[in-house]
Amino acid sequence: MLFKKKRGFKPKHQLTILYLVGLIISFSSALPAYVNSSFISQFTDLSFVSLFFVIANLATLLFILRFPQTIKRFGHHNTFKLLLFLYSASLFFFAIADSSLTALIGIVFFTAFLNLTFIKLDLFIEIFTKNADTGKVRALYLTICNLGWVLAPTFSGYLISSFGYSFVYWLSGSIIIPTLVFFLIISPHLKSKIKYAEEGMKKVIRKMWHNKNLRGIFFVALILQLFYTTAVVYIPIYLHQTLGMSWEILGPIFSFMLIPFIIFQIPAGFLADKYFGEKEMLYIGLSILTISLVGIFYVNQPIVWLWAGLLFFSRVGAALIEAMRESYFFKIVSAKDLEMINLFRLTGPAAYIIGPALAILITVFLPIHFIFLVSALLTALGIILVWPMKDSL
């Protein structure tokens, strides 16, 4: 155990509280996630939507680089409370966006504060986790968070159809307010003291690059995040605006496609801890994701059952990769490695810079669905990158 508490909640109870907080934040962030690109496209040409996400994630990257100093200065709990408040405020601001400038400001702050909030949750989870249980704990945490993602799209599809885009953002921000109050009440029972490794970012990058295991899982994480960029930004636009599928149809499809994150990650984490290690399931997950992206590239008709099946199959692969990414990485780092965890989570905003930048280049010369073919080639590359990594078992 990385940390022992003399009084207050036991570690398993602390983890339960963190799981609950993760579920609420995930549900809140998932409500607008699949509609952000369509909402922004109301204020700008479709070709410029990618640029909004590039700018938002460049800003997020800068926020993340400064985040270790913020935590060391203000402490775990004060930082987390501030983040919950700012994240909620960013959603309220997004709700009143009425121009390309206000929409840009909204997506910048929404993206930045959401990423920082989940990095902070990462640190809390790691503090209260035994290394031998990393796969199980991380898989359970991911499953609970992903439950919020499964439930949210159906709600958001209905809410948009009935009340419009802004209502989704008002609701998402409002959900966080009782969560902040709850955390203010229970935070004294989650006190944690840990001495962080004093490493600059340049040293951490060199350490990652010269360690084949860290380097491999870092690039696998980047490839997965590039897929999520495609899934969250471009698949909704393609289905809604190019193929003409309504949000009443897309909401349930998006909920259905996320079910693999609920049913596969806990068994995958258990198997990684006890029997196989992570490499074998990374191979399987990357192969499934590659095949499904090729299918998404070729299907150009709004056939509901076919799209539901393709998107579901893609998330089977993504769920396995995500669970193994978390299990593998957090077995070779600990909570004191704040800078390394920070670097690892930079793959999210980095992907949202690289992905839209590539998409801009692709859509200048080719139809939008070629983005999915390029994404398939990148996930296939991930299979090669896994090969040098040492398995954890």
Cβ count near 237 (within 10 Å): 19
Helix axes 304-332, 265-274, angle to 10 degrees: 30
In a domain, 234, yes or no: yes
Pick from 358, 250, 378: nearest CA to 304: 250
Residue 192 pLDDT exceeds 70 = no
Q: State the alpha helices, DSSP H only, in 230-369.
A: 235-237, 247-257, 260-263, 265-274, 279-298, 304-332, 338-345, 347-365
* pLDDT at 338 (0 to 100): 75
CB 376 within 8 A of CB 315: no
Which tens digit of pLDDT belongs to each residue from 101-114?
888 888 899 999 99
* pLDDT at 244 (0 to 100): 86
Mean pLDDT of the chain: 83
Which tens digit of pLDDT belongs to each residue from 153-168?
777 777 777 777 788 8
Residue 390 DSSP one-character state: P
Range of the domain at 352: 11-386
In a domain, 244, yes or no: yes
Rounded mean pLDDT, 181-206: 71
Rounded mean pLDDT, 297-301: 89
* pLDDT at 242 (0 to 100): 85
d(CA 110, CA 89): 9
Pick from 168, 226, 236, 188: nearest CA to 27: 168
Length of the chain: 393
d(CA 230, CA 354): 11
In a domain, 392, yes or no: no
Percent of the chain with pLDDT over 90: 24
d(CA 193, CA 199): 18
Q: Which amino acid is at 49?
A: V
Give the Cα-Cα-Cα angle 118, 123, 127 (nearest 5 degrees).
145
* pLDDT at 131 (0 to 100): 65
Residue 199 DSSP one-character state: -
* pLDDT at 196 (0 to 100): 58
d(CA 237, CA 353): 18
Pick from 301, 292, 305, 326: nearest CA to 140: 326
In a domain, 148, yes or no: yes
Residue 1 pLDDT exceeds 50 = no
* pLDDT at 309 (0 to 100): 93
Which tens digit of pLDDT belongs to each residue from 33-43?
777 877 888 88
In a domain, 245, yes or no: yes
* pLDDT at 349 (0 to 100): 86
Element (H, E) at 372: helix 370-386
* pLDDT at 148 (0 to 100): 82
* pLDDT at 5 (0 to 100): 43
The token pair at 269 is: 């984490």
Q: State the alpha helices, DSSP H only, in 187-233.
A: 201-209, 212-229
pLDDT band at 318 (very low <50, low <70, confident <90, very high): very high
pLDDT band at 393 (very low <50, low <70, confident <90, very high): low
Q: Is 75 helix (H, G, I), strand (E, B) or coil?
A: coil
* pLDDT at 330 (0 to 100): 84
The token pair at 10 is: 């036991």
Give me the number of domains the chain comprises: 1
d(CA 226, CA 393): 28
Rounded mean pLDDT, 61-80: 82
Which tens digit of pLDDT belongs to each residue from 239-290?
888 888 887 888 788 888 888 988 888 888 787 777 777 888 899 999 999 9
pLDDT band at 6 (very low <50, low <70, confident <90, very high): very low
* pTM above threshold 0.85: no
The token pair at 299 is: 């299907």
* Alpha carbon distances (Å) from 348 to 126, 157, 178: 19, 25, 27
Residue 4 pLDDT exceeds 70 = no
Percent of the chain with pLDDT over 70: 91
The token pair at 306 is: 């076919």
In a domain, 273, yes or no: yes
* pLDDT at 229 (0 to 100): 85
CATH code of the domain containing 309: 1.20.1250.20
In a domain, 4, yes or no: no
Rounded mean pLDDT, 364-390: 90
Pick from 31, 379, 45: nearest CA to 230: 379
Which tens digit of pLDDT belongs to each residue from 130-143?
766 677 788 888 88
Residue 313 pLDDT exceeds 90 = yes
pLDDT band at 124 (very low <50, low <70, confident <90, very high): confident
Helix axes 76-95, 100-127, angle to 10 degrees: 150
* pLDDT at 9 (0 to 100): 55
* pLDDT at 80 (0 to 100): 86
In a domain, 393, yes or no: no
Rounded mean pLDDT, 13-23: 83
d(CA 70, CA 321): 31
Q: What is the DSSP string of 112-179?
A: HHHHHHHHHHHHHHHHT--GGGHHHHHHHHHHHHHHHHHHHHHHHHHHHHHH-HHHHHHHHHHHHHHH
Pick from 317, 287, 77: nearest CA to 182: 77
pLDDT band at 197 (very low <50, low <70, confident <90, very high): low
Pick from 147, 92, 145, 153: nearest CA to 117: 145
Which tens digit of pLDDT belongs to each residue from 91-102?
999 888 888 888
d(CA 354, CA 57): 10
